[in-house]
Amino acid sequence: MQTLRTLGDLEREGLLTPDPRLVEAARSMAIALTPEMLALIDRTDPADPIARQFVPSTAETEIAEAERADPIGDEARSPVRGIVHRYPDRVLLKPIHVCPVYCRFCFRREAVGPGGEALTAAELAAALAYIRERPAVWEVILTGGDPLMLAPRRLGELIAALDAIDHVGVIRVHSRVPIADPARVTEALVEALRPRRAGLWLAVHCNHASELAPAARAALARLADAGIPLLGQTVLLAGVNDAVDTLEALMRALVTARVKPYYLHHPDLVRGTGHFRVPIARGQELMKALRGRLSGIAQPTYVLDVPGGHGKVPIGPGYLADDPDALTVEDAFGGRHSYPG
């Protein structure tokens, strides 16, 4: 079966009913739903958490005043095509702008998809030269789009080019491929992800425990067995994972698959995605509940990407309160205790 790419494809699978507003929603962002993700959808559940992530909704036509086309300020921090330089010691490098699936909440939904900005050979050379000329850049984050959509040969060449830059100590790759299209994680791709000198980390985007199907677990195992450390990135999404039991199950599933939960992202102010956002106070409540249920290796950091390109900040709950004589510490189960400050 092929990846579903049109409203008609989704209609034939019984995932939506025709509505003129869906045409507008589909026009605002590409559609892609792989057979692997399709197989996870419960067709009898109108609120299925997998379908909610990938099937267009009429709610996408409702755009709030605060929502932005470039919610985290990539354009303002892009000195060279394909580069985003937000922090002194690291840069994003976006070599490709296609993905195996298109998440309806994507913060780059205005740029990714067929016909989106992909780097030419000359543009990639200029991006690498930018990194090479800046000794302060210690970490390069390959993102996009999805870097693992590159052919293994091209990916290997890019990893090797970065590895040859002495001051680049870490290469981080952000990908949905091991979850959404696990068959792409071949021996050739795994080999391409093994630089000789720099450390390489792979951050995997996963939002629900059911996404960790047997094929996805096998793909992650191939990566972990090759010595590639795996991180988990999750977006907090209303109707998908905004319940403590759901988040707990996801974090346990990730750790069992040898993926360390890294970030729980608060949804960005992407146009037409208000139906996915939860209040920050709710996210903090969920993080407090997780603290009492999960060990440290299963705890992500709850973060907000400050609109306008100002970077990520942790927004997790606090556990200290002022006291006239000492600090008051709240434990993971809600108990409060004095501690000499």
Q: Are strands 312-314 and 301-305 parallel, antiparallel or unpaired?
A: antiparallel
Which position among 106, 130, 172, 263 bears the catalytic label?
A: 106
103: annotated active-site residue: yes
Query: CA-to-CA distance for 116 and 97, rounded, in angstroms?
Result: 6
Strand 139-142 relative to strand 327-330, pairing: unpaired
For this structure, is 312 an active site residue?
yes
State yes or no: is 108 an active-site residue.
Answer: yes
206 is catalytic: no
List C-alpha distances in Å: 46 to 22, 101, 189.
16, 20, 36
- Confirm whether 268 is a catalytic residue: yes
Query: 5, 9, 68, 87: which is the annotated catalytic residue?
Result: 87
Active-site option among 48, 77, 102, 103: 103
Q: For residue 280, how many other CB atoms are within 10 A of its CB?
A: 13
Active site residue 176: no
Distance CA 315, CA 19 (A): 38
90 is catalytic: yes
Active site residue 99: yes
Are 168 and 138 in contact by the 8 Å Cβ rule? The answer is: yes
The one catalytic residue among 132, 222, 312, 319: 312
Is 27 among the residues known to form the active site?
no
Options 268, 271, 277, 302, the catalytic residue: 268
Q: Is 288 in the active site? A: no
* Token pair recorded at residue 164: 């040859």
The catalytic position among 5, 21, 68, 90 is 90
From the list 108, 109, 184, 217, the catalytic residue is: 108
Q: Of the residues 99, 102, 109, 263, which is catalytic?
A: 99
Burial string for 189-225 (b: 16+ CB within 10 Å, else e) reads: bbebbebeebebbbbbbbbbbbbbbebbbebbebbee
Residues with catalytic roles: 86-87, 90, 99, 103, 106, 108, 268, 305, 312
